[in-house]
Structure 1
Amino acid sequence: MRGNLFAVAVNLIVLTVRSHRLHVLLIERGEQPFLGEWALPGGFVQPDEDLVHTGTRLLREETGDPTGDAVVGHLEQLGSYADPSRDPRGRVLSVAYLALVPDLPEPTPGSDAAASAWRPVDEVGPLAFDHEQLLADGVERARSKIEYTTLAASFCPPEFTVTELRRVYEAVWRSELDPRNFQRKVTSTDGFLVPTPTLVTGGRGRPPRLFRRGPATVLHPPMLRESHRVNRNGDAPEQ
């Protein structure tokens, strides 16, 4: 029997790149329903909060950074999920937020979670509620948005090399990119990257330069995934 709860909740799809793979933050539920199962972080909207305040509060809590100083990525509303059967406690409308963050330390679970962990997106098993759908929608949004915006830099630290940025694209898209073509594209796009005077020493060959994210927010022309690049004849163009 379904409960009588009627509430608004926020769920987070927190994505980062670790060890050249796209990861998502998951929590092991410490209470019913779905006790002991893995889920996306989330919580109910408090009486004195609006949706974005709930999202930022949960992001601070679930990443183990109560001040929020380390969470410097990107947070945007993904969508609303309101299937009447999505929560056995009653009617719960969930507003999902997508967060893109640089690699952070191991998370500290919130008060209602038994554990929390970063998991590779392609290794995530069944999730509680309808969170598999939320995760799929969040990953596709991230893959799409880095085609035509500069949001890929949200996965990077404040200063990074072009190689580190390329590995973000490769991890999110799950495909290899030509290093020279990528270097030419991102360094020639006005406002995407700002060079710093710092060179990374200690490796072989010419030391790579560190860059910061520039003021641009849109990539024009976009940097499309292989499956999205077609010419007028419907064929994939040459690299």
Structure 2
Amino acid sequence: MPTAVSLFAVTVHLVVLTVRRDTLSVLLDRDGSSVDLMLPGGYVDDGDLPRVAARELADRTGTTTDEGHLEQLATYGDAAAGARQGVISVAYLALLPGLSEPTDAASAWYPVAEPLDGGVPVAFDHRGILGDGVERARAKLEYSSLAAEFCPEEFTIAQLRRVYEVVWGARLDPRNFHRKVTGTTGFVEPTDRFTDGDRGRPARLYHRGPATALHPALLRR
């Protein structure tokens, strides 16, 4: 007896995260036929997963992968893409600084706490995918220099610390953070400039160093 062959449709879904108004935010689509929100995505028609992910990212945000970080997150079964048998969803994580309003009218930014805590309805298993994406983003800030990409070209250590606090969802001790960051080779480099000091003591300005991986890592614990 011939073996039955299962055919699967493949979709790509994006967890697009950015820092907006001092809040970690995620891009969500509204399906016109449902009150639920969902992660942006589309069907893969030629097997080129990265190309589809980059296309969906550009369609929603008007940005390219050269302007931020995009990586494959994980692969999920039927529940991730909907109650349709034979659908596999490949999720990608995009971390992009300085994003403005979405270019697609069906997309909007939401604080990640709202879909994660159930404050807004999320379709299928996209809440679980979002949770995985947020945790991956938090982990990446521990061992990579990605957080500095969310700062201006020149920034204070306090500005960098705030990026970590927003993404990690926790307050950090300023002195310990300053010591760890400035003691990590190649993470940040001091300039000879300071803030204007209109409010409080002037703070030294730094710029991003050449390191992409942090040794030692900046652990949350």
Give the TM bin, normalised by the shorter chain. 0.7 to 0.9
CA displacement at 1:172 relative to structure 2 = 1.4
What's the secondary structure of 2:72's corresponding residue? strand
**Could you say which residue in structure 1 is the equivalent of 2:3?**
none
Structure-2 change in CA distance of 1:153 and 1:203 (3 Å): same
AA in 1 matched with 2:111? P
CA displacement at 1:167 relative to structure 2 = 0.7
CA displacement at 1:210 relative to structure 2 = 3.6
Cα distance in structure 1, aligned partners of 2:51 and 2:153: 24
CA displacement at 1:157 relative to structure 2 = 4.0
Structure-2 change in CA distance of 1:44 and 1:170 (3 Å): same
**Could you say which residue in structure 1 is the equivalent of 2:145?**
150
What's the secondary structure of 2:134's corresponding residue? helix
Which of 92, 100, 105 is the matching residue for 1:97? 92
AA in 1 matched with 2:109? W
Aligned length: 212
More helix by share: 2
**Could you say which residue in structure 1 is the equivalent of 2:19?**
17
AA in 1 matched with 2:55? R
The CA deviation string for residues 70-123 of structure 1, in whole angstroms up to 9 with x for no partner, is x622111110002368423442211111111113111122xxxx6221111111
After the TM superposition, which parts of structure 1 deviate over 6 Å for at least 4 consecutive aligned residues? Answer: none
Cα distance in structure 1, aligned partners of 2:139 and 2:181: 17
AA in 2 matched with 1:184? R
Structure-2 change in CA distance of 1:158 and 1:95 (3 Å): farther
AA in 2 matched with 1:57? R
AA in 2 matched with 1:129? F
TM-score with structure 2 setting the length: 0.84
The CA deviation string for residues 14-42 of structure 1, in whole angstroms up to 9 with x for no partner, is 11112222111111113x5xx34211111
Cα distance in structure 2, aligned partners of 1:123 and 1:92: 27
Could you tell me which runs of 5 or more consecutive residues in structure 2 were left unpaired when the two chains were aligned. Answer: 1-5
Conservation of the 8 A alpha-carbon contact between 2:11 and 2:87? yes
- Tell me whether 209-218 or 72-81 shows the greater mean CA deviation: 209-218
- Percent identical residues: 57
CA displacement at 1:130 relative to structure 2 = 1.1
Cα distance in structure 2, aligned partners of 1:143 and 1:197: 31
Cα distance in structure 2, aligned partners of 1:40 and 1:7: 17
Which of 45, 49, 52 is the matching residue for 2:50? 52
**Could you say which residue in structure 2 is the equivalent of 1:234?**
none
**Could you say which residue in structure 2 is the equivalent of 1:39?**
38
Conservation of the 8 A alpha-carbon contact between 1:13 and 1:40? yes
CA displacement at 1:173 relative to structure 2 = 1.4
CA displacement at 1:214 relative to structure 2 = 2.0
What's the secondary structure of 1:76's corresponding residue? strand
**Could you say which residue in structure 1 is the equivalent of 2:171?**
176
Q: What's the RMSD between the two structures over aligned residues?
A: 2.5
- Tell me whether 196-205 or 216-225 shows the greater mean CA deviation: 196-205
**Could you say which residue in structure 1 is the equivalent of 2:216?**
221
Structure-2 change in CA distance of 1:160 and 1:117 (3 Å): farther
The CA deviation string for residues 39-70 of structure 1, in whole angstroms up to 9 with x for no partner, is 111111232x611111111111111x16x38x
What's the secondary structure of 2:167's corresponding residue? helix
Conservation of the 8 A alpha-carbon contact between 2:78 and 2:89? no
What's the secondary structure of 1:190's corresponding residue? coil
Cα distance in structure 1, aligned partners of 2:94 and 2:152: 15
CA displacement at 1:199 relative to structure 2 = 3.7
CA displacement at 1:183 relative to structure 2 = 1.6
Could you tell me which runs of 5 or more consecutive residues in structure 1 were left unpaired when the two chains were aligned. Answer: 227-239
Matches within 5 A, 1:138-217: 138-201=133-196, 203-217=198-212
